[in-house]
């Protein structure tokens, strides 16, 4: 488990990839065409891309696994350590504190977006309101993705960053068309 986390591939990301794949099969087999039929494959592609890029980055950076001293920890300390490892996953030592904080904020935003349907069901919101909240969430997320991609491209001027910027632009345009 620690090796997965040190390579930047958290167990949470792997679980999300598997769940998006299963959800995509369910979305395509239900026969009803809605926003979910387009959103689930998009999210699956994004998660697969994130896992691949973290794995690729770990292959270029030397991973040094130091033996950890054996220390007895309570169950609560083990659980809190696991959650911190999951939230900090993908952070490398050469990332600045601002980049790590941005990564943690984005992880929390994704976590809240994934839990939002539970809250909307709890408050018995109408389908139209749920769909509007989903559309607004996708537009805000794609706008943030576009801004971050442009910022990264300006810093490095690499062709890979240009591809991400174009992808972010198409996602933003697609989400605006859905509106």
DSSP structure string for the chain: -HHHHHTT--HHHHHHHHHHHHHHHHHHHS---STHHHHHHHHHHHHHHHHHHHHHHHHHSPP--PPPP-----HHHHHHHHHHHHHTTT--TTS-HHHHHHHHHHHHHHHHHHHHHHHHHHTT--HHHHHHHHHHHHHHHHHHHHHHHHHHHHHH--HHHHHHHHHHHHHHHHHHHH-
Report residue 139 as tokens. 């537009």
The pTM assigned to this predicted structure is 0.48
Residue 139 has a pLDDT of: 85
Written as one string, the DSSP assignment of 87-110 is HTTT--TTS-HHHHHHHHHHHHHH
Q: Write the pLDDT tens digit of every residue in 4-37.
A: 656 667 777 778 788 888 888 888 787 777 777 7
More confident residue, 117 or 96: 117
Q: Write the pLDDT tens digit of every residue in 57-107.
A: 777 655 566 666 667 778 778 777 766 666 555 555 566 777 777 777 776
Mean pLDDT is lowest, of 49-53, 95-99, 126-130, for 95-99
Q: Residue 85 in contact with residue 5, Cβ under 8 Å?
A: yes
Residue 146 has a pLDDT of: 87
Residue 45 has a pLDDT of: 81
Mean pLDDT on 122-147: 83
């Amino acid at each position: 488990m620690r090796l997965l986390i040190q390579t930047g591939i958290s167990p949470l990301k792997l679980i999300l990839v598997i769940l998006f794949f299963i959800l995509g099969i369910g979305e395509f087999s239900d026969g009803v065409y809605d926003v979910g039929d387009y959103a689930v494959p998009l999210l699956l592609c994004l998660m697969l891309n994130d896992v691949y890029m973290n794995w690729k980055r770990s292959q270029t950076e030397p991973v040094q696994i130091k033996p950890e001293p054996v220390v007895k920890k309570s169950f609560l300390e083990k659980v809190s350590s696991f959650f911190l490892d999951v939230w900090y996953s993908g952070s490398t030592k050469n990332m600045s504190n601002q980049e790590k904080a941005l990564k943690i904020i984005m992880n929390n935003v994704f976590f809240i977006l994934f839990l939002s349907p539970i809250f909307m069901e709890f408050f018995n919101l109408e389908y139209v309101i749920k769909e509007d909240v989903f559309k607004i969430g996708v537009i805000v997320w794609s706008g943030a993705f576009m801004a971050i991609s442009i910022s990264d491209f300006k810093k490095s001027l690499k062709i890979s960053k240009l591809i991400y910027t174009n992808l972010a632009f198409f996602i933003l345009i697609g989400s605006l068309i859905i509106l």
